[in-house]
Amino acid sequence: MGVVNVTPDSFSDGGRLMDPDAALARARKLVADGADWLDIGAESTRPGAEPVAEAEEIARALPLIAALRRESDIPISIDTMKPAVARAAVAAGASMWNDVTALGWRGDSLASAAELGCQVVLMHMQGEPGTMQAAPRYDDVVAEVTAFLVARAEAAMAAGVERSRLWLDPGIGFGKSLEHNLALLADLDRITGLGFPVLLGVSRKAFVRRIDPTAEAPGDRLGGSLAAALAGARAGVAMVRVHDVRETVQALAVQAAICDAGRHG
C-alpha cells in the first residue's frame, strides 16, 4: 500500500503534494512501482499535528481520488478519522476506510462504516495524536493491543460491518515507545493469528531513528523500514503501508523467493 499525503505537515512527505498535479504524479509513480493499494491522507496524524476541519480535509483528498478514479482502477483507501470524509471518499471511488481511531473518534463512526460497506482498517492508538507520544504506558503492550483490536472488531461487527471487510493494525508509533513498538513487531503473530488480515505501517517512522540516531530525516530511514516490513511479512501481515513502494516490493519479492527455495530445495 503506497502512501500519498495531501497535507502540509505529514512527517515524511508533508507539504510536497499539496499541488494536485504533484499528488497525482506521486500516486501514478507508486502504482507504476507496484503498489496494490493507495492510501490517501489529508490530515497528518504525526505527534503534535494540528487538527484539520472536515471541509478542508474533503477539499484536499477528493480531487485526487476523483482524478485517479478517472484513469485507473487501483484500489483506494482514505486515511481519516472522520465519517463525513470517509463517506465523501467512498462516493468518489475509495473502497477502504483506514481509521487510526478504530472507528472510535465519533459516536456515528461504527454505523457509518456499516452503511458504507467498504473495507475498514481498525488501528490501535493510545491517546490522541497531539499528545500520544508524551508518556505511553502499558503493563503488557502485546496483550493490550491485541485485546483492543479484538474488542473493536467485535464492536464493528455488532454495528453491522461484515467480518470479511475488517483489517487490523497494531499502530506502530501511535502512543508507543521504542520498546513497545519492538515488542509488537517481535510478537506480531499474536495479531496475525486472530484471523483478520493485518496492515502494518512502519515506513520511515521514528523508531528507526531511535535505533540509528543518524537517521534524523525520515527519508534516511529506508533500511530500517525495509527490515521491519520484512519482519512483518514473515509474521504473516497481509499488507504493508509504505512510502518507498519500489524498494519494498523488491525486498518482499526477494524474501518470498528465498522462502520458496527453502520449501522446494
Residues catalogued as catalytic = 205, 241
Query: CB of 198: closest distance to ligand HH2 in angstroms?
Result: 10
Binding residue for ligand HH2 (CB under 6 A) from 2, 6, 10, 208?
10
Three-class DSSP labels, 217-249: CHHHCHHHHHHHHHHHHHCCCCEECECCHHHHH
Compare residues 174 and 252 and give the one whose CB is closer to ligand HH2. Answer: 174
Query: Binding to ligand HH2 by residue 172, rule CB under 6 A?
Result: yes
Q: Which three cell numbers stand for residue 249?
A: 516490493
- Residues 6+ away with beta carbon under 8 Å from 70: none
Stretch that binds ligand HH2, among 84-92, 166-174, 180-188, 249-257 (CB under 6 A): 166-174
Q: Is 175 in the site for ligand HH2 (CB under 6 A)?
A: no
Alpha-carbon distance 91 to 104, whole Å? 22
Per-residue string for binding with ligand HH2, 119-158, x by CB under 6 A?
--x-x-----------------------------------
Using the minimum distance from each CB to ligand HH2, give the nearer residue, 112 or 119.
Answer: 119
Total site size for ligand HH2, rule CB under 6 A = 21
Q: Does 241 bind ligand HH2 (CB under 6 A)?
A: yes
Q: Based on the shown chain and the rule CB under 6 A, indicate whether residue 47 belongs to the binding site for ligand HH2.
A: no
Residue 97, helix vs strand vs coil: strand
Residue nearest to ligand HH2 (CB): 201
Q: Nearer to ligand HH2 by C-beta: 36 or 71?
A: 36
Task: For residue 257, count CB atoms less than 10 angstroms from its CB and return exposed for 0-12, middle for 13-18, buried for 19 or more.
Answer: exposed
- In whole angstroms, how close is the CB of 172 to ligand HH2 at the nearest point? 5
33-51: string of b/e by CB count within 10 Å (b at 16+)?
bebebbbbbbbbbbbebee
Q: Could you give the 3-state DSSP secondary structure of residue 200?
A: strand
For residues 182 and 86, what is the distance between their CA atoms, to the nearest angstrom?
31
Within the chain, strands assigned E span 2-5, 38-41, 76-79, 96-99, 119-123, 166-169, 199-200, 239-240
Q: Of the candidates 46, 60, 176, 180, which one interacts with ligand HH2 according to CB under 6 A?
A: 46
Per-residue binding string, ligand HH2, 79-118, x by CB under 6 A, is: x------------------x-x------------------
The arrangement of strands across the sheet holding 119-123 comes to: 2-5, 38-41, 76-79, 96-99, 119-123, 166-169
Residues interacting with ligand HH2, by CB under 6 A?
A: 3, 5, 7, 10-12, 41, 44-46, 79, 98, 100, 121, 123, 169, 171-172, 199, 201, 241
